[in-house]
Amino acid sequence: MIKLIRFVGLIIQSILIEFLHVFGLVAFLLAAALGYFRLPSWLVPIVGIVCGIIADKFIDQTEVIALLERAASANQRGGFLVIVYIIIVAVGYVTGAYARGAVHRRKIAQATPRQAVQPPQAASPAAKQPQKRKRS
């Protein structure tokens, strides 16, 4: 249990480092856009893996390494960065999907009062009850 808590703490510290480095924020916003525009959720691990590989191979993190030394040493392993970016992208995707739902609910809430203000329409001839037929 202690190892699990330490691992979660290490991931949280790594996420903080990636956000401070700005590339984590870019990945988060990309994933939020995926969720907002309802793109398939199977893109989440793909984007997470791609961002993790890019961060491992091409981004120099020496300026933020002094902040959290253990997390920085864990970030030197490519597999760990992939896990970190999958988590960042998954949370970003859920955030984008939730934002889309909130925008949709706000539009519905704004549209409802306008409909309630409209006066009731006069009964049209098509809305009348059909007459009973006489049986002969």
Residue 107 parent element (H or E): helix 78-117
Q: What is the average pLDDT value for the chain, to the nearest integer?
A: 82
**pLDDT of 84 above 60:** yes
Q: Supply the range of the domain harboring residue 40.
A: 2-105
- pLDDT per position as a tens digit, 21-35: 889 999 999 999 999
In a domain, 7, yes or no: yes
In a domain, 129, yes or no: no
Total domain count, the chain: 1
Global pTM reads: 0.71
Residue reference for tokens 């409909």:
115
In a domain, 132, yes or no: no
Distance CA(34)–CA(31), nearest Å, equals 5
Question: CA–CA distance from 73 to each of 10, 29, 80, 82 (Å)?
Answer: 10, 26, 10, 14
In a domain, 26, yes or no: yes
- pLDDT per position as a tens digit, 35-74: 999 999 999 999 999 999 998 888 877 766 666 677 777 7
